Structure 1
Amino acid sequence: MNATDASLWRETFTYLASVNDESIFLKEKIQSLWLIYGGDLRAKIKDDTLILEVLRRALPGYNGDGVTLYRGESWFLFDQDKIGFCWTIYEEIATTYAKGLNAVESGGVLLKCYAPKEAILAAPESGTSTGHEYICDPGKLLRLTTQGLFPKL
């Protein structure tokens, strides 16, 4: 994934966004791949609107109730209103990201929100190491609040 040029990823996502037949997407496999490589892809593509368009088509969706979710985000992205797609029901996991990986460049922020069912693009995969992550449309999340700020590492 990292050996592929960013422009090729952007072209690929542009193509996927134009596909009219959603049956071509292996939605559960794409969900698994996004949970592993989504952050790297997002950094390469640098177009959350395009990414969101593809994720809406390519992910399995969600039919459950709304849930309260948490995310550990970098202060830099939060300050630019570029909140990421992956969220968890576990505050302690989100805090780990806010204090750690997402605090490296600018410090971290722990976020809390309510995700109505229409904001959730995929529910956690059961029986996997990523079995706590919801993939969401950040623009549809409600009652977003900061729960804590953490220094730059």
Structure 2
Amino acid sequence: MAAEQGGLRPGRPCRRRRRASRGRAVRTPPHVHQRTFSLAVVTSQQAAERVELVGFARLAFAGVQSAQLGYAIAHDQQRRGYATDAVRTMLDFAFGPLGRHRVSAAIGPENVASLAVIKRVGFTREGVLRDHVFTNGAWRDSVLFSILVDEWAPHVG
């Protein structure tokens, strides 16, 4: 989901590298003091003119000039580059128009696909957050990753 050269603009579609897919950020511009931004990950089958939601990415402000990144892709749509594109798009947006200095992501240690995505785009592992989330009746650890603005090369294309 490479952002347009001028950067992702809230409420406007962005051009995608993959099969006529589009993302749309939330509706209000950053100067309206919005704290959370979401991106829909969709596929578009031009012959059928059908659009299918396959996932999302979310960026939430956290602290001074920092943000937390989260994303999910439907199981049957994984391994097609959608998560990588979504993460790159959100990083372009975070470090460009939103002026963030740092973006972090907390990932379950068993989530091999997500760990590969986050490493592929240049995040650095910081450590383990013990008993970080409570899901399915149990406490679970998360691996914390981050990337800083001077470590990010804007993705064009």
TM-score bucket of the superposed structures, by smaller chain: 0.3 to 0.5
TM-score by length of 2: 0.34
| Higher relative contact order, chain-length normalized (CA < 8 Å, sep 6+) | 1
TM-score by length of 1: 0.35
Which is strand-richer, 1 or 2?
2
